Amino acid sequence: MEHEDTTTKAQDNSWVVIGLMSGTSLDGLDVARARFEITKKGDWKGELLNFDCFEYPNELWARLRSSMEMSALDLKLLERDWSKFAAEKVASFEKADLLSSHGHTVFHKPQEGITVQIGSGAILAAETGLPTVCDLRSLDVAYGGTGAPLIPMVDRHLFLDYDACVNLGGFSNISISTDEETIAWDMGPCNNLLNLLAREVGKDFDNDGAMAKEGLISESLLKELLELEYHDLCPPKSLGMEWFYNELVPILVKNTGFSLENIMCTSVEYIAHTIAKDLPKGKVLFSGGGARNTFLMERLSKLVDGSEIHILQEPMLDAKEAYGFAFLGLQRWLLMDNVLNSVTGASRPSSSGAIWLP
């Protein structure tokens, strides 16, 4: 099979790329198919062609949820099965030139020099027949960076009309771009916290924040959450599920005397506060499943001052991260820098990701 010479100049070419994203909130596998091209002026243009989110089968979902406690062998078996599931879903999409997979994060400890996203590039390439880019975070971590967030490179090139972009996924993160640089960081937990609480009553999530809206804010719990050390750190900084389970969940466990509705209401207020304090003045674009939580967005609107809140329209509202990873994979394929060290704190920018050829 012949493969494109990725060192050829990119101008005047266009590519169709499929991007995969599996978030810590375990909502499902996001698959976006997009077309990208770069103009003679060096500006990027992107178009979302197709998008779908595929729910995980119960057994695979349960294994992904417990992946941090698995043996090395069980984790490799999970990676095999996740990759085969993803390849099957990619096959349902129309033709593409490239596949870019973020994979599913199991460990993210950049301060210890490791980040692990399962998703076998070998299996994906072999089963889809597409050149595949994966492991997009490791090189940045090797250069001393946080390995996250990565989407700010996408915001800088493809969402230039906004002063900041916020994604409300498992965690909330923000990117702010100026002519000189882009900075970005994880602000705090979001859907992974609210979904964890919703599962206490057998729900996958709290639709529109309805349960939270029935509760009252516990000022003592809110104060304890906002005093978590992470919120006082300066960027660059990023969060993983280790922090979530080791630092945040024990606070909830200590406060089980409150009703679930009160804990959920307080959690929404906590999330809104962590976002509001970081928003700049000007136009701010929101994406991700959390932007659908009308109660959260109402509370956030009451806390901000000078920020215009704009919410992405369907289907880009949910597709933005998978669309973004398609773009980052293409930059890697073209040997362009796809990670900003102004965001991650690495010693240099990098063209990060492993390439597997079928």
Q: Which helix (H) or strand (E) holds 137?
A: none
Task: Say whether pLDDT at 6 is over 60.
Answer: no
Q: For residue 10, what pLDDT is reported?
A: 58
The identity of residue 292, as a single letter, is R
Question: What would the DSSP string read from start to end of 184-217?
Answer: EEEEEE-HHHHHHHHGGGT-SS-GGGHHHHTS--
Please state, in angstroms and rounded to a whole number, the distance separating the CA atoms of residues 209 and 49. Answer: 31
> Over the stretch 83-137, which tens digit does the pLDDT of each residue have?
999 999 999 999 999 999 999 999 999 999 999 999 999 999 999 999 999 999 9
Q: To 5 degrees, how large is the angle CA 201–CA 206–CA 211?
A: 75
Q: What integer pLDDT is reported at residue 41 of this predicted model?
A: 82
Q: Residue 8: its pLDDT value, please?
A: 53
Distance in angstroms (rounded) separating the CA atoms of residues 352 and 175? 19
pLDDT given for residue 5 in this prediction: 56
Q: Which CATH number does the domain housing residue 241 bear?
A: 3.30.420.40
Which CA distances in Å does 171 have to 23, 74, 103, 286? 9, 26, 16, 13
- Residue ranges of E strands in 123-274: 132-134, 164-168, 171-177, 182-189
On the question of pLDDT at 287 being above 60, the answer is yes
The answer to whether residue 87 sits within a structural domain is yes
Q: How far is CA 136 from CA 28, 45, 123, 161, 179, in A?
A: 20, 21, 17, 26, 25
Based on the domain organization, do 218 and 186 belong to the same domain?
A: yes
Q: What is the mean pLDDT of residues 212-229?
A: 97
Q: Looking at the domain assignment, is residue 167 inside a domain?
A: yes
Cis peptide before 250 (omega within 30 of 0): no
Residues 176 and 300 in one domain: yes
**Same domain for 343 and 257:** no
Residue 4 lies in a domain: no
Across the range 278-307, mean pLDDT stands at 96
> Residue 149: enclosing H or E segment and its boundaries?
none
Q: Are residues 157 and 304 in the same domain?
A: yes
- Do 199 and 275 share a domain, yes or no? yes
Same domain, 161 and 45: no
Q: Is residue 2 part of a domain?
A: no
Q: How far apart are the first and last CA of the chain?
A: 8
What is the DSSP code (8-state) at residue 265?
A: H
Mean pLDDT of 12-39: 93
Based on the domain organization, do 51 and 158 belong to the same domain?
A: no
Whole-model pTM: value is 0.90
The answer to whether position 343 is within a domain reads yes
Q: What's the whole-number mean pLDDT along residues 187-197?
A: 96
Judgement on whether residues 66 and 157 belong to the same structural domain of the protein: no
Residues 245 and 202 in one domain: yes
> What is the total count of domains within the chain?
2
pLDDT of residue 111: 94
Contact 125, 136 (CB under 8 A): no
Per the prediction, the chain carries an average pLDDT of 94
pLDDT digits (tens, 9 = 90+) for 304-315: 999 999 999 999
Tell me the pLDDT tens digit for each residue of 249-274. Answer: 999 999 888 999 999 999 999 999 99
In this prediction, what percent of the chain has a pLDDT beyond 90?
90
pLDDT given at position 12: 55
Give the Cβ contact number of residue 66 at 10 Å: 11
The token pair that represents 58 in the structure block: 């119960």
Could you tell me the two tokens for 168?
């409300």
| pLDDT > 70 fraction of the chain, expressed in percent and rounded | 97
Residues 237 and 342 in one domain: no
pLDDT (0 to 100) of residue 24: 85
User: Same structural domain for residues 265 and 347?
Assistant: no
In a domain, 156, yes or no: yes
Tell me: do 240 and 266 sit in the same domain. yes
Band of residue 11 on the pLDDT scale cut at 50, 70, 90: low
Q: What is the pLDDT of residue 1?
A: 45
Report the pLDDT averaged over residues 25-50: 93
The whole-number average pLDDT for the span 21-47 is 92
> What confidence category does residue 13 fall into, taking pLDDT thresholds of 50, 70 and 90?
confident
| CA pair distance 78, 97, nearest whole angstrom | 27
The reply to whether 324 falls in a domain is yes
Structure tokens at 162: 């906004």
Q: Which residues contact 293 (CB under 8 A, 6 or more apart)?
A: 168, 194, 206, 208, 209, 268
pLDDT band at residue 2 under the 50/70/90 scheme: low
Indicate the pairing of strand 29-38 with strand 44-54: antiparallel
| Residue 218 forms part of a structural domain | yes
Residue 179 has pLDDT above 50, yes or no: yes
Print the domain residue range for 103: 14-148+319-356
pLDDT at res. 256 = 82
Has residue 25 got a pLDDT over 90? no
